[in-house]
Structure 1
Amino acid sequence: MARRIAIIQGHPDQRPERFCRALAEAYASGAAQGGHETRLIDVAALDFPLIRTQAEFESGAPPRAIASAQETLRWADHWVIVYPLWLGDAPALFKAFVEQTFRPGFALRYREGRLPEGLLKGKTARVIVTMGMPALVYRFFFFAHGLRNLKRNVLNYAGVSPVRDTLIGSIKDMDRATGEQWLRRVEAFGRMAR
């Protein structure tokens, strides 16, 4: 069954040689081969300010670029999020995008005396994170804390489930053959819309 897929490319560097960009393109290529429809959200190309107050987060209108991204995310059945690990977490620009995008009214609805209701039920996601350290070190020594936060406190809280993850470590030492192997694997994820 064909799916609608939003690919969020979260590397803040717009240069085309970034591996995150190649991964996003590989996923999109695989998805096209599988008969799926994709739309790209390139966070580095978006123009939006930082959120500076709780009131702005809860009741401010999202900037035009964020409103467009929200519409793409509503349209999609499945999301693919690609970003590099910087200082143990997602880059600041990607985190600012998440703060702007996952506002009340889009991601959740406040309810008097109860926990907020997630508004994104029925959507699934895959998060792909690249990093300089070995992936096993991030997962088992650092407990993948940044990734866990994104999965549990943002995506799952908003109703997105299941959220699968792919960690790609030792990027700086990766040879061409290993890089191409990863691209083929991510392309296969795209064909399966997983």
Structure 2
Amino acid sequence: MKILVIYTHPNHKSLCYAFLEKIIKGSNENPNIKELQVLDLYEEGFNPVLVFNENKRRRDMYCDPQLEKYRKQISWADKIVFVYPIWWGRPPAMLMGYIDQLFAANFAYKDKKGLLPEGLLKGKSVVCVSTMKGPTRYPLFWLNNSHKILMKKALFNFVGIKKVKFFEFGNMESPKGKQTKKLEKIYDYFKKI
């Protein structure tokens, strides 16, 4: 199995970064994982801003040479892991900008007759590891599960990815947030998948 981890947090002393370290450690100890790549969007200096003009058209994003490296990473991976905080009920703008540009028509999906397109990323799976200040059940009860619906139905299922696993960790700024236990849960998951 080949894993691409997309890390989206500006601080390497954050809890998100501690989760990234556990993912790397568990993956390195797992004989089923043959290769691991990490893409740190902030460290990479990824530009999340969409630009469309007479030279850069939306319909051509699938072949934009500036995004070729990232398309190759997605194509290469069997499993894509996203590590990010939930801010204002959704992933950071940096990650959404990456998604807007990379999950483009004719790369991630292809329009066809009918209501839904053909997903071109079939066979891949996704794991989302997210942290938030609020309670764990906050997205479910107060936001009608909008985070999971956005990520699973509006994005991953749309592009053909059916296997999506979520780890949403709440109360992460609380002294009673059980951070160590949650970090070990992620380590164990990646050590055994």
- The C-alpha deviation readout for 1:57-91, integer Å capped at 9, x for no partner, is 32234353x32122111111111111101111111
2:18 to 3, 19, 22: 22
Please give the residue correspondences for 1:22-41 in structure 2 after superposition, counting only pairs within 5 Å: 22-35=18-31, 36=33, 37-41=35-39
- Indicate conservation of the 8 Å contact 1:62/1:101, yes or no: no
- Indicate conservation of the 8 Å contact 1:131/1:170, yes or no: yes
2: CA distance, partners of 1:180 / 1:107: 36
Q: TM-score, normalised by structure 1?
A: 0.87
1:77 corresponds to which residue?
78
Q: TM-score, normalised by structure 2?
A: 0.88
2:42 equivalent to 1:44: yes
- Indicate conservation of the 8 Å contact 2:48/2:95, yes or no: no
Question: Normalized per residue, which structure has more helix?
Answer: 1
Structure 1 gaps of 5+ residues are none
- Indicate conservation of the 8 Å contact 1:131/1:169, yes or no: yes
Q: CA RMSD in A?
A: 2.0
Give, in angstroms, the shift of residue 124 of structure 1: 0.8
2:8 corresponds to which residue?
10
1:179 corresponds to which residue?
179
1: CA distance, partners of 2:8 / 2:182: 18
2: CA distance, partners of 1:100 / 1:68: 12
Aligned residues, how many? 187
2:112 corresponds to which residue?
111
Match of 2:111, SS state, is strand
- The C-alpha deviation readout for 1:110-167, integer Å capped at 9, x for no partner, is 2255632100000111111110110112223322202311111111110112101011
- Quick one: structure 1 residues 114 and 131, their matched pair in 2 at CA, closer, same or farther if it must change by over 3 Å? closer
Q: Which runs of 4+ in 1 moved over 6 A?
A: none
2:153 equivalent to 1:152: yes
2: CA distance, partners of 1:157 / 1:71: 20
2: CA distance, partners of 1:23 / 1:49: 23
Structure 2 gaps of 5+ residues are none
- Indicate conservation of the 8 Å contact 1:5/1:38, yes or no: yes
